[in-house]
A and B are shown apart, each in its own frame.
Chain A
Amino acid sequence: DVKVTQSSRYLVKRTGEKVFLECVQDMDHENMFWYRQDPGLGLRLIYFSYDVKMKEKGDIPEGYSVSREKKERFSLILESASTNQTSMYLCANAGGQNYGYTFGSGTRLTVV
């Protein structure tokens, strides 16, 4: 089974800090995604990537950037953290025949 690992389960950062959220997959899947999930707002796509060094904006890319230097790693960067970026961040990948996404366990980020 594909495993997607997010580096931190919980993070607390200060306003204005640069924050890196790391996501690593252990299979050779091209497609990787970053979402944030907030109560009542469901899953919202921030960025996605179909290949190394390739990135596409999702629905809410403002305040975020991403990096995909290697196929297995897709990083989300908060350039200058703000309190409205307090959220659950979920990384996922896809590439199997059943079209299913495999999600990491999530990072609950609190910006104070």
Chain B
Amino acid sequence: GQSLEQPSEVTAVEGAIVQINCTYQTSGFYGLSWYQQHDGGAPTFLSYNGLDGLEETGRFSSFLSRSDSYGYLLLQELQMKDSASYFCAVYMDSNYQLIWGAGTKLIIKP
């Protein structure tokens, strides 16, 4: 079967740095993506990693290690508006179909 594991909840302090990990076991792998979803809203695309290494987009970075079947999302200079659920998702092939993790609820305290 296919599985993605990520922590169900992470708590951090405003202004700090937080890392959300994702490990996957899938029969195929084409790339790893991350999405943010605020309560009551729809998921929004954050990043995509097709190759090993770090991708940086402003305060957010995403990392992939294909040999370890592992990736993470790094959020820096946390702001209260970053309180949301974060989903990792694996592309099995180039056809855009995703396998989704269960999501990590990020709680930010002042």
Chain A-chain B contacts (Cβ-Cβ < 8 Å), number:
43
- Give the size of the chain B interface in residues (CB under 8 angstroms): 20
Q: Verify if B101 is at the interface (C-beta below 8 Å from A).
A: yes
**Contacting chain B: which of A11-19, A62-70, A78-86, A93-101?**
A93-101
- Give the size of the chain A interface in residues (CB under 8 angstroms): 18
Q: Verify if A75 is at the interface (C-beta below 8 Å from B).
A: no
Q: Is the CB of A95 within 8 A of B96?
A: yes
Are A104 and B42 CB-contacts (below 8 A) given A42-B101, A43-B87? Answer: yes
Q: What residues of A have a CB within 8 angstroms of the CB of B98 in the complex?
A: 101
Are A102 and B45 CB-contacts (below 8 A) given A42-B101, A42-B103? Answer: yes
- Which residues in A have some Cβ–Cβ distance to B below 8 Å? 31, 42-43, 45, 48, 50, 90, 94-95, 98-106
